[in-house]
Chain A
Amino acid sequence: MAKERAAEPGEVVLSVKGVRKKISRKWIIDDVTFDVKEGEIFGFLGPNGAGKTTTIRMLVDLIRPTEGTITVCGYNVNRNPEKALQYVGSIVENPEVYTYLTGWENLQHFARMQPGVDGQRITEVVDIVRLDQRIHDKVSTYSLGMRQRLGIAQALLGRPRLLILDEPTNGLDPKGIKELREFIRNLAEDGLAVFVSSHLLSEIQLLCDRVAIISKGRVLAVGGVDELVARNSPYVLWDLEPVPAARAILEGHQGITLLKLDEVTLDDSVIAGMGGGSVITVMDETLIPGIVADMVKAGVGVRAVHKISPTLEQLFLKLTEGESID
Chain B
Amino acid sequence: MTNLLPLIRNECTKIIKKKRFYVILLILLVLVPMFTYAQMRVAERSRDKFNSDWRLEIQQRITDNQNSLSSDRIPEEWKSYRRIFIQQLQYYLDHDVNPNEPSGVTFTREFLDNSVSLFIPLLIMAVASDLVSGERTTGTIKMLLTRPVKRWKVLFSKLAALLMFVSLIVLSVFVISYLISGLAFGYKGFNIPVFTGFQLSGDTVDMSGVHSVPQWKYLLMQGGLIWFVSVVVALLAFMVSVLVRSTAASIVVMMAALIAGSILTNMAAAWSTAKYLFMVNLGLTGYLAGTPAPIEGMTLPFSLAVLSVWGLAAIIISFAVFTKRDILN
B67 at the interface (CB under 8 A from A): no
Cβ 8 A contact of A113, one of B7, B14, B138, B140: B7
What CA separation (Å) do A82 and B6 show in the bound complex?
A: 16
Closest to B8 in A: A112
Stretch at the interface among A89-97, A219-227, A254-262, A288-296: A89-97
Cβ 8 A contact of B148, one of A109, A154, A158: A158
B150 partner residues in chain A, CB cutoff 8 A: 81-82
Would you call B9 and A105 a contact (CB within 8 A)?
Answer: no
What CA separation (Å) do A220 and B8 show in the bound complex?
A: 45
Would you call B148 and A86 a contact (CB within 8 A)?
Answer: yes
Q: How many A-B residue pairs have CB under 8 A?
A: 83
Chain A: interface residue total (CB-CB under 8 A): 34
Segment 117-162 of B: residues with Cβ below 8 Å from A:
138-140, 142-150
| Distance (whole angstroms) from the CB of A18 to the closest CB of chain B | 19
B13 partner residues in chain A, CB cutoff 8 A: 101, 105, 109
Cβ 8 A contact of B140, one of A1, A82, A83, A96: A96
B146 partner residues in chain A, CB cutoff 8 A: 60-62, 85, 88, 90, 92
- Known: A93-B142, A96-B139. Is A57-B148 also a contact (CB below 8 A)? no
| Distance (whole angstroms) from the CB of B325 to the closest CB of chain A | 9
What CA separation (Å) do A94 and B138 show in the bound complex?
A: 10
A86 partner residues in chain B, CB cutoff 8 A: 148
B328 at the interface (CB under 8 A from A): yes
Cβ 8 A contact of A62, one of B6, B14, B142: B142
What CA separation (Å) do A100 and B18 show in the bound complex?
A: 6
Segment 292-329 of B: residues with Cβ below 8 Å from A:
326-328
Closest to A96 in B: B139
Would you call B143 and A115 a contact (CB within 8 A)?
Answer: no
Cβ 8 A contact of A112, one of B6, B140, B327: B6
B2 partner residues in chain A, CB cutoff 8 A: 82, 113-115
B145 partner residues in chain A, CB cutoff 8 A: 61-62
Would you call A93 and B17 a contact (CB within 8 A)?
Answer: no
Closest to B328 in A: A63
A99 at the interface (CB under 8 A from B): yes
What CA separation (Å) do A63 and B145 show in the bound complex?
A: 11
Cβ 8 A contact of B142, one of A64, A84, A96, A100: A96
B256 at the interface (CB under 8 A from A): no
B10 partner residues in chain A, CB cutoff 8 A: 109, 112-113
- Seen from chain B, the residues whose Cβ lies within 8 Å of a Cβ on chain A are 1-2, 6-7, 9-10, 13-14, 17-19, 138-140, 142-150, 326-328
What are 19 A-B contacts with C-beta separation under 8 Å? A1-B1, A23-B328, A57-B327, A63-B326, A81-B148, A85-B148, A88-B146, A92-B142, A96-B138, A96-B140, A96-B142, A97-B140, A98-B140, A99-B138, A100-B18, A101-B14, A112-B7, A113-B148, A115-B2
